[in-house]
C-alpha cells in the first residue's frame, strides 16, 4: 500500500451502491480507526453513533431533510454511517478517568508518572478551559482531526466515503439523546462503495499547486 496513492485516489463519494454491505471484519476495522485516532494530549473528546442497517441509517437520515435533502440518499445508500460527536464539557472527573484508562492499558506505569501526566494534561486543558475560554472549539478540533485520519484510513481499506456537514445536528442530538449523554453531533461520514453512476468518481482531483502552498526555509 502506498499512502500517497491513497491520498491521490480517495474522493468524496456522491452516490453509493445500496446493494453492497460491509463484512464484520470491515466494520471492526472502521471502529479501530475511530478509536486509534490521535488527539491533543490524548484527550479523545468524542463519541460515535454507527449504523450499518436500514433502520439505523434512516434515523440518521432524519437530519438530512429540508435544505439538506441532497444528502439523504448518501446516508441511506451507504454501507455504513458514522455520526461524529463531541463532548460538551471537559471535566476534571473525565481527565482523571482518562488517566485511569491509560494506567490500565500500561501507558502509565507508576503513580509518579501518573502525577506528571496529570500535571501536563491539566496545564494544556486549562489553557482552553480557563485562559483562552475556547474549550468547545478545541475539542471539536480533535474530532475533526479524527475525521481526517478516518477518511484516509477508510480509503486505505479500499472503501469509499464522504464527510457530510450538511445535516441538522440538533435533529441528531434529539434522535440519539446526545445532550443527556454529554455530547453533541458535529458531522456525518458515510462509507461504502461508489455506484457506477457516481459522477465525482470520474473527475480529476484538483488541489492548489506546490508553488502556492509551501515555503521552505
Active site residues: 14, 74, 165
Count Cα atoms within 13 angstroms, Cβ side, for 59: 17
- Residue 162 bridge partners (DSSP): 190
Report which secondary-structure segment, H or E, holds 25.
helix 24-35
Contact between residue 98 and residue 44 where contact means Cβ atoms under 8 Å apart: yes
- Distances in whole angstroms, Cα of residue 167 to Cα of each of 11, 82, 170, 171: 20, 13, 9, 8
Contact between residue 97 and residue 57 where contact means Cβ atoms under 8 Å apart: no
Q: Give the separation between CA 195 and CA 197, rounded to whole angstroms.
A: 5
Helices 111-126, 92-104: crossing angle, 10 deg rounding: 140
Q: Is 68 exposed, middle or buried (0-12, 13-18, 19+ CB in 10 A)?
A: middle
Per the listing, cell 433502520 goes with 55
Amino acid at each position: 500500500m502506498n499512502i500517497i496513492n491513497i491520498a491521490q485516489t480517495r474522493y468524496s463519494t456522491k452516490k453509493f451502491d445500496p446493494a453492497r454491505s460491509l463484512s464484520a471484519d470491515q466494520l471492526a476495522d472502521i471502529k479501530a480507526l475511530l478509536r486509534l485516532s490521535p488527539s491533543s494530549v490524548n484527550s479523545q473528546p468524542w463519541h460515535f453513533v454507527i449504523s450499518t442497517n436500514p433502520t439505523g441509517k434512516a434515523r440518521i437520515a432524519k437530519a438530512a431533510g429540508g435544505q439538506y435533502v441532497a444528502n439523504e440518499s448518501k446516508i441511506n445508500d451507504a454501507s455504513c454511517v458514522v455520526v461524529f460527536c463531541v463532548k460538551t464539557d471537559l471535566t476534571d472527573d473525565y481527565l482523571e478517568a482518562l488517566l485511569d484508562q491509560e494506567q490500565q492499558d500500561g501507558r502509565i506505569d507508576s503513580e509518579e508518572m501518573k502525577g506528571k501526566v496529570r500535571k501536563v494534561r491539566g496545564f494544556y486543558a486549562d489553557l482552553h478551559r480557563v485562559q483562552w475560554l475556547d474549550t468547545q472549539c478545541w475539542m471539536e478540533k480533535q474530532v475533526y482531526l479524527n475525521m481526517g485520519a478516518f477518511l484516509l484510513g477508510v480509503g486505505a481499506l479500499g472503501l469509499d466515503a464522504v464527510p457530510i456537514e450538511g445535516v441538522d445536528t440538533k435533529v441528531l442530538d434529539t434522535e440519539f439523546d446526545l445532550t443527556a449523554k454529554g455530547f453533541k453531533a458535529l458531522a456525518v461520514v458515510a462509507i461504502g462503495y461508489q455506484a457506477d453512476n457516481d459522477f465525482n468518481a470520474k473527475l480529476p482531483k484538483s488541489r492548489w499547486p506546490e508553488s502556492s502552498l509551501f515555503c521552505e526555509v
